[in-house]
Amino acid sequence: MTVLLVAGCSPRAQGQQEEKPAEIVRPPAVAGGFYPGSPTALSAMIKSLLEGVPDETISGEILAAVAPHAGYRYSGKVAAHTHKFIVKADFDTAVIIGHDCHIPGTVALICPVDYYQTPLGKVAVDREMVAKMVKFHPGITTETSIHGREHTVEVQLPFFQFFKKQCKIVPVLFGNPTVENCRILADAIGSAAGDKKVFVLASTDMSHYPSYETARRIDQKTLKVIPSLDVEKLFAHLNELEVREKIPNLRTSMCARGGVGTAIFFARARGGNRARVLCYANSGDVPGGDKSRVVGYGSVVIVREGNAGSATEE
């Protein structure tokens, strides 16, 4: 699927009032697949998923979060935990960071459209922030074709729409997931935000394709590292799982680590000092799920508690 680039207006006739440029809308790529294509069915499914999340409170200001991005049948319950807390956060723009593209020399790829469309309507893109982020660093660029067929940003949006969250988004795919690139993107977000209240959502799944019990073991290890809010430690841990442990069938231990690293750096810069794991499951937990080959899903929020100025004691 490609991005719908609405054609510009034809030249106006003499004396005719100048017309506004046509909107650029990115249509849904996975409606009817990853989630229901009918607005009624989609709203009903999200409502059902949220009803399964306990009513809890978290002290402090929510600055960033992690949510999975598989089909709702598999990861929707875990994603619902994240979104039930996101709705309590106060922000004007949500920067949603999806898959790592592993493109050398690239920090991030941002989709330069006016709106993202889902069955529940349109979500506005913060074009002002996009322009400022691209200007911040040459490794941050705009791109439409990859975003046009990508699901990792899109699947988060119906939750925002269900809650009628009045905010814009910045849709991002990570380029080359290194610690330094995470720092650059976090700085770009902070610089572009200005006086806006900005939230960062890392859209990622965890281990891909080990057995059920192996996935639970290694994903729980990862979920114990994330609360350290130490990006270098997290990346070293993920590399250890993938390279040294030689776990059968493990393709990746986290498919969008760039977004998670960026979320941590962004939150730390704003005094984030606590990460709370809300929920974990994997695709083998779904009725009929294949336990020999699973994908892991985690829900995490990062908050600032008290008047802390940094995340960890140096």
150-205 pLDDT, tens per residue? 999 999 999 999 999 889 999 999 999 999 999 999 999 999 999 999 999 999 99
For residue 129, give the CATH number of its domain.
3.40.830.10
Residues 29-77: tens digit of each pLDDT: 999 999 999 999 999 999 999 999 998 888 899 999 999 999 999 999 9
pLDDT computed for residue 18 by the predictor? 63
Q: How many CB atoms lie within 10 A of CB 249?
A: 14
| Residue in 298, 116, 125, 140 with CA at minimum distance from that of residue 207 | 298
Cα 287 to Cα 32: distance, rounded to the nearest angstrom:
20
The per-residue pLDDT for range 264-299, each reduced to its tens digit, is 999 999 999 999 999 999 999 999 999 999 999 999
User: Which amino acid is located at 50 in the chain?
Assistant: L
Report the alpha-carbon distance of residue 42 to residue 49 in Å, rounded: 11
Please say if the pLDDT value at position 301 is more than 60.
yes
Please report the pLDDT score of residue 24 as a whole number.
Answer: 96
Burial 270-307 (b: 16+ CB within 10 A, else e): bbbbbbbbbbbbbbbbbeebeeeebbbbbbbbbbbeee
- Residue with the bigger pLDDT between 184 and 7: it is 184
| Cα gap 255→248, rounded to integer Å | 17
In the chain, the largest separation of any two C-alpha atoms, in whole Å, equals: 72
* Mean pLDDT for the stretch of residues 247-251: 95
281 beta partners: 297
Please check whether residue 15 lies inside any domain of the structure.
Answer: no
Rg (CA), the chain: 19
The reply to whether 214 falls in a domain is yes
Structural domain that includes position 299: 25-304
The reported pLDDT for the residue numbered 313 is 27
Q: What is the pLDDT of residue 10?
A: 40
Q: Which of 156-160, 225-229, 307-311 has the lowest mean pLDDT?
A: 307-311
Quick one: tokens of 199? 């939230």
**2 has a pLDDT exceeding 60:** no
- Say if residue 6's pLDDT is above 50: no
pTM metric for this prediction: 0.91
User: Looking at residue 3, what is its pLDDT?
Assistant: 44
- Give a yes or no: residue 58 inside a domain: yes
Query: Would the pLDDT of 19 be above 80?
Result: no
8 Å CB contact between 92 and 167? yes
> Is residue 4 in some structural domain?
no
Whole-angstrom Cα distance, residue 108 to residue 139? 7
pLDDT confidence of 8, banded at 50, 70, 90? very low
Tell me the C-alpha distance between 239 and 245, whole Å: 9
Look-up of token digits 């996975």: 30
Identify the pLDDT of residue 306: 80
The whole-number pLDDT of residue 211 equals 97
Q: Are 78 and 280 in contact (CB under 8 A)?
A: yes
Please give the backbone phi and psi of residue 144, each rounded to the nearest 5 degrees, phi first.
Answer: -110, -35
Residue 245 banded pLDDT, cuts 50, 70, 90: confident
Given this model, what pLDDT does residue 13 score? 47
Label residue 16 by pLDDT band (50, 70, 90): low
Residue 314 has pLDDT above 70, yes or no: no
Q: What is the pLDDT of residues 79-135, one digit of tens each?
A: 999 999 999 899 999 999 999 999 999 999 999 999 999 999 999 999 999 999 999
In a domain? residue 273: yes
Distance CA 199, CA 96 (A): 8
What is the pLDDT, as a whole number, of residue 173? 98
Number of structural domains found in the chain: 1
The whole-angstrom separation of Cα 92 and Cα 140 is 22
d(CA 277, CA 122): 30
- Whether 158 is in a domain gets the answer yes
Cβ burial, residue 166 (10 Å; 0-12/13-18/19+): exposed
Domain assignment present for residue 105? The answer is yes
Q: How far is CA 100 from CA 56, 104, 182, 205, 290, in A?
A: 32, 11, 11, 11, 26
Residue 6 lies in a domain: no
Position 311 pLDDT exceeds 90: no
Q: Give yes or no for a contact between 277 and 68, defined as CB atoms under 8 angstroms apart.
A: no
